[in-house]
Chains A and B, each alone.
Chain A
């Protein structure tokens, strides 16, 4: 069965420092992995996805994620955090029920401290 784990409910990082938001997954078949961000009082916005190819995926707002098949991880990273990066981040994996369906993690709240 598909599952996604975001082991940290909350991540705090100082502005200018690198940030990492962790995600591990369990899927049958090829993993299709996504990161979304939710700013306060807004819908989810797509950041990046891994379908196939290069394990390092670059996305919006300077974010990137590395697909690691052996560790079944897809951690989100950014070299230098901004206060405006403070938001709720969701990792998602293609669901078993259909090609378009996504199964979401429980989310990680990132706070960037000035």
Chain B
């Protein structure tokens, strides 16, 4: 089944403890992206990647890192999480090209205490 998977789905952590949220897609998509969803703000893009070893900042990149060493994987790294990073995170992927449909993972709900 074609899909985008994220792990973990739920995570509670404490301020400053490094964490990684994994994202993997099995559709051979070149493009991948991370978003955070907050009430009243919709989805905001954190980072995106047009292909392997190519990443770029979205609208809210502060406090996050990403890497794209393989085409299928695009992990999101929080080196020192803070409470304002408590949010619902989504990974998405799509084929390369204008107007291509993005496919979303199920989401990761993060609580930083």
Q: Which of B12-20, B40-48, B70-78, B79-87 contacts A (4 or more CB under 8 A)?
A: B40-48
Candidates B43, B92, B99; contact of A90 at CB < 8 Å: B43
Whether B98 and A99, one on each chain, are in contact in the complex, defined by CB atoms closer than 8 angstroms, is yes
Q: With A32-B98, A43-B90, A44-B90 given, is the CB distance from A101 to B58 under 8 Å?
A: yes
Whether A90 and B33, one on each chain, are in contact in the complex, defined by CB atoms closer than 8 angstroms, is no
Whether B43 and A42, one on each chain, are in contact in the complex, defined by CB atoms closer than 8 angstroms, is no
Whether A43 and B98, one on each chain, are in contact in the complex, defined by CB atoms closer than 8 angstroms, is no
Whether A97 and B58, one on each chain, are in contact in the complex, defined by CB atoms closer than 8 angstroms, is yes
Within A16-61, the residues touching B (CB, 8 Å) are 32, 34, 36, 41-46, 49, 51
Number of residues from B at the complex interface, CB < 8 A: 29
Query: Closest Cβ of chain B: how far from A7's Cβ, in Å?
Result: 13
Q: What CA separation (Å) do A46 and B100 show in the bound complex? A: 11
Q: What CA separation (Å) do A7 and B42 show in the bound complex? A: 13
Query: Closest Cβ of chain B: how far from A113's Cβ, in Å?
Result: 22
Q: Which of A66-74, A79-87, A102-110 contacts B (4 or more CB under 8 A)?
A: A102-110
